[in-house]
């Protein structure tokens, strides 16, 4: 089995760590280049973890360039994981992997699809929530759900508290889903 991970934030890092932990093959990491990370909230250089673990990586500005598409296609992955990326994925990339593309959303899809999902949950007073791993399709956060993991947002939580709880939930969920896909 072969896979590719594309990402730019802490959730991308968590997925990479969990892939390594459960022995899920990562054949290449596509990491947002730090030169283009100024407007990315919570940027995380996942290429550093790839380098430390001997995983080939490349940095990108826009994932859907001809060069990146050609590179991904040449890897012939079974899965592409797009975790923590605020760029739309070109349908040509979606069609590459044999088993599909896996995405992540910090809400219980189909609720709160789209951007600023964490903020909307806090503003609307949502307490019991879930994060979701799902199969990407051409819609916006609309593919088949692979799994969800609960976490709780308290009234007195700060943004860092919510992020920590989400990250803990993603670790549990990633482990379950990766083990199932393996």
Q: Mind listing the pLDDT tens digit of every residue in the chain (182 residues)?
A: 999 999 999 999 999 999 999 999 999 999 999 898 888 788 999 999 999 999 999 999 999 999 999 999 999 999 999 999 988 889 999 999 999 999 999 988 887 666 667 777 777 788 999 999 999 988 677 788 999 999 999 999 988 899 999 999 999 999 999 999 98
**pTM for this prediction:** 0.92
Residues 6+ apart with CB under 8 A from 70: none
Q: Provide the total of helices (H) and of strands (E) in the chain, helices listed first.
A: 6, 7
Identify which of 19, 161, 179 has the alpha carbon closest to the alpha carbon of residue 83. 19
What are 79's strand-pairing partners? Answer: 3, 100
Sheet holding 57-60, edge to edge: 57-60, 28-32, 3-7, 79-83, 100-105, 128-135, 145-152
Residue 127 in tokens: 């307490």
Distances (CA, A) of 143 to 39, 134, 140, 147, 166: 27, 6, 8, 12, 21
């Amino acid at each position: 089995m072969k896979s590719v991970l594309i990402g730019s934030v802490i959730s991308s890092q968590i997925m990479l760590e969990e892939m390594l932990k459960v022995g899920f093959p990562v054949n290449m990491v596509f990491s947002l280049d730090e030169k283009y990370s100024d407007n990315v909230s919570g940027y995380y250089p996942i290429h550093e973890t790839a380098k430390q673990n001997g995983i080939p990586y490349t940095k990108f500005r826009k994932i859907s360039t001809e060069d990146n598409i050609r590179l991904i296609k040449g890897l012939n992955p079974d899965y592409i994981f797009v975790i923590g990326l605020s760029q739309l994925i070109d349908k040509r990339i979606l069609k590459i992997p044999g088993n599909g593309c896996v995405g992540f959303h910090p809400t219980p899809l189909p609720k709160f699809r789209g951007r600023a999902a964490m903020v909307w949950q806090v503003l609307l007073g949502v307490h019991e929530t879930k994060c979701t791993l799902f199969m990407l399709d051409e819609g916006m956060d609309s593919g088949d759900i692979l799994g969800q993991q609960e976490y709780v947002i308290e009234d007195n939580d700060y943004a860092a508290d919510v992020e920590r709880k989400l990250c803990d939930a993603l670790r549990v969920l990633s482990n379950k889903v990766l083990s199932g896909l393996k």
